[in-house]
Structure 1
Amino acid sequence: MSIEEEITIYQFGHGVYSVSDILEQFRQLNEGEKRMRLYEIYSLIQQSNPADTDIEQAIASSSLDPTNESCTTLKTQRFQPHMVFLPDGESEKIAELLLHVFKLAYQRSYELEKENPREWWYADFSKPDIVQATLARHRELADEMYNNPSFRFEFVALTKLWYKRKTVREVSEPEPVPEPQTHFDFVTYDEISIEGLATYKRDYDMMYLQNSVTKGLAKQYEVDIDLARRLMLTVIDRHMQETYHTTLL
């Protein structure tokens, strides 16, 4: 989910968009993307501290029959993450329910946080100027991180790992080889072993390196871990486009 898409969900929480508006965007995704989007909405619900009473209210507010499989699953599994893995035909129904739950939880948390929000997602995104300011700040931070020599090598390494992950099952032309570089003006992490990138499995490499980079970015730029991770992926996507002429996902 891009920063623009996430803000759209928050705008839905503020009443700028309707459930139908968000579901129309949801329908444009393929099944794999829908699964990911459901989990992302679930994560947004969790950060807004949902209450059990939100479930009954969400079902009542939805267009679904309370006996529908998605409704009964939400009732029995409550806020368990595996509820997003119902059969494909249920994905849109689950999305509708989760959106209603999100709106209830988000509005309640927003009322508590709005006077002095501790998290960026509790800004008043019903105001276009705040939306634009948030996006501008995101782009500014992403540019700073992209041009920061202290993280240059780590981003190059992560980009290569992401590219391999994306193409591992594809039958395509050989991987483009980036122009060799012999010198980087950067500060490395003590805990990262560059030799380990050639030893450990690709996915473990990515997880380990991404976690380290995320923590480093969060500390240097004084942002929360979630935003640091999102900005890191934005920078990796930029490297992917420039080096391999493809996108991250």
Structure 2
Amino acid sequence: MDTLESVFPSADVKCAFIFAHYDDAALNVSKVLDSCPPGSIDMVLCSAVPSGRLNSLRQMQLPSRIRRSRASILLNHAILGRPVYGEWDDHCGFSVSTQEVMRERSAEHDRVCSLFDVDSFGLDVLDSQYGRSGRKGEEKALARALDLVRDREIGAVVTHPLDAQHPDHAKAVKLALAVCKSAGTSLVTACERPYTVCSAAECSHRNPGYARASATVNLDDRTWKLKHEAVSCYPTQIVGLDGSFTYDWMARPHLGVECYQRIR
């Protein structure tokens, strides 16, 4: 296993973090968020909310039992093209409009970016629980990401693993790859917490076949305290994650280990 210095050969290389959701970067790459040089940026792919009259109807403050009912799901599918009712928002206990949910998530994220002193930008693609942004929306996101990377003279893009299974994570990886190809930057991927559990000594998903260098990092006391504080800034996400994982996913043996792979 290599060191983090081999994954990021220079401490002066500014990073762009391209992750799907507001909490992903803090969960996955707090070590690099904390140590990246000034000018590094955080880009959140899924920062848009549905628009239009039909979507406004769907945002009505209905009880969750109605929103998740078979009739409501079938109606959403018939009108909007897929059985969407805001599954994750519902799982996190929200009963307000998507616009209000996104305002709350954005406010949580602003507090985290202040902790790490990193600027954040939304790329305004729809979360898959809301619908599809389409090719035009994804092209706009790519154009904005490229502008930011070039304007900030970014040297490395950090994102989800290449084989990410979540549809939004996979979209973020696709965008990150396109940015690296066009801007000529390095690409670094990170194991996904809390979905991945790696030991203090070894990454569970290390793939020497495509990684030029890789490192498993045990967070020191100061960085662990900072990461725990950052993750705690997402109470709306914690509710959902607590209901999804049977193990103590916020414990240091699980969340205090981060893995990085330099792909190019």
TM-score normalised by length of structure 1: 0.24
Q: Comparing both chains, which one has the higher relative contact order based on Cα–Cα distances under 8 Å and sequence gaps of 6 or more?
A: 2
Q: Which has the larger radius of gyration?
A: 1
Report the structure, 1 or 2, having the larger strand content: 2
